[in-house]
Structure 1
Amino acid sequence: MLKQEQLKEIKALQEICEKEGGFHLKLNDDMLENRSANRQEDFFLYEGGKLVAFLGSYGFGNKVELCGMVHPDYRRKGIFSELLEMGLIEAKKHGASTILLNAPTESQSAKDFLKNIPCTFAVAEYQMKWEVTELSDDPSVTVRPSFSKEDWEAEIQLEISCFGFSEKEAREFQQTISENSSDQRLIVEADGKTAGKMRVSDSNGEAWIYGFAVFPELQGKGIGRRALSRVVKMEHQKGLPIFLEVEAKNAHALGLYESCGFRSYHSQDYYLYQN
Structure 2
Amino acid sequence: MLSTKELDNIKKLQQVCEQEEEIRLKLNWDMLMTRNEKEKTDFLYYEDGELIGFIGIYGFGNKIEVCGMVHPKHRRKKIFSQLFSEAMNEIKKQNVSQILLNTPTRSFSGKEWVKTLPCQFSFSEYQMKWAETNLGEQEHIIIRASTPDDIETEIQLDVQCFRFSEEEAKVYNQRIKKENIQDFFIIEANQQKVGKIRIQHIKKEAWIYGFAIFPQYQGQGIGRKALNKILRQEHQNGFDIFLEVDSKNANALKLYESCGFKAYDSQDYYEYK
CA distance 1:204–1:32, change in 2 (3 Å): farther
Structure 2: segments with no counterpart, 5+ residues: none
User: Which residue in the other structure is 1:70 paired with?
Assistant: 70
Structure 1: segments with no counterpart, 5+ residues: none
Greater displacement, 38-47 / 140-149: 140-149
User: Which residue in the other structure is 2:9 paired with?
Assistant: 9
Alpha-carbon separation, structure 2, partners of 1:57 and 1:147: 30
State whether structure 2 residue 59 is matched by structure 1 residue 59: yes
TM-superposed CA distance for 1:190, in Å, is: 1.6
State whether structure 2 residue 214 is matched by structure 1 residue 231: no
Q: What RMSD over aligned residues (CA atoms) do the two structures have, in Å?
A: 1.3
State whether structure 2 residue 254 is matched by structure 1 residue 255: yes
TM-superposed CA distance for 1:139, in Å, is: 4.4
User: Which residue in the other structure is 2:135 paired with?
Assistant: 135
TM-superposed CA distance for 1:103, in Å, is: 0.5
Alpha-carbon separation, structure 2, partners of 1:233 and 1:5: 38
Q: Quick check: 2:54–2:68 contact (8 Å CA) kept in 1?
A: yes
SS, match of residue 140 in structure 1: coil
Q: Quick check: 1:140–1:191 contact (8 Å CA) kept in 2?
A: no
- 1:114-129 to structure 2, matched below 5 A, reads 114-129=114-129
Alpha-carbon separation, structure 1, partners of 2:50 and 2:205: 28
CA deviations over 1:96-149 (Å, ceiling 9, x no partner) = 110000000101111111111111111111110111112134543121110131
Greater displacement, 254-263 / 133-142: 133-142
User: Which residue in the other structure is 2:241 paired with?
Assistant: 242
Q: Quick check: 1:142–1:230 contact (8 Å CA) kept in 2?
A: no
SS, match of residue 93 in structure 1: coil
SS, match of residue 110 in structure 1: helix
CA deviations over 1:158-201 (Å, ceiling 9, x no partner) = 00000001111111111111112411111111233211111111
- 1:124-273 to structure 2, matched below 5 A, reads 124-149=124-149, 151-273=150-272
TM-superposed CA distance for 1:36, in Å, is: 1.9
Q: Quick check: 2:66–2:100 contact (8 Å CA) kept in 1?
A: yes
Q: Quick check: 2:139–2:228 contact (8 Å CA) kept in 1?
A: no
Alpha-carbon separation, structure 1, partners of 2:243 and 2:92: 29
Alpha-carbon separation, structure 2, partners of 1:210 and 1:191: 24
Amino acid at match of 1:266: D
Q: Quick check: 1:100–1:273 contact (8 Å CA) kept in 2?
A: yes
User: Which residue in the other structure is 1:91 paired with?
Assistant: 91
CA distance 1:40–1:204, change in 2 (3 Å): farther
Q: Quick check: 1:14–1:69 contact (8 Å CA) kept in 2?
A: yes
What is the percent sequence identity of the aligned residues? 51
Alpha-carbon separation, structure 2, partners of 1:168 and 1:141: 31
CA deviations over 1:3-46 (Å, ceiling 9, x no partner) = 22222221211111111101111111111122222211111111
Alpha-carbon separation, structure 2, partners of 1:139 and 1:228: 9
Alpha-carbon separation, structure 2, partners of 1:206 and 1:195: 26
Q: Quick check: 1:36–1:180 contact (8 Å CA) kept in 2?
A: no
Q: Quick check: 1:42–1:56 contact (8 Å CA) kept in 2?
A: yes
Q: Quick check: 1:55–1:69 contact (8 Å CA) kept in 2?
A: yes
CA deviations over 1:32-87 (Å, ceiling 9, x no partner) = 12222221111111111111111111101110000011110111110111111122
Matched positions, count: 273
Q: Quick check: 2:157–2:213 contact (8 Å CA) kept in 1?
A: yes
TM-score by length of 2: 0.96
Q: Quick check: 2:63–2:96 contact (8 Å CA) kept in 1?
A: yes
TM-score by length of 1: 0.95
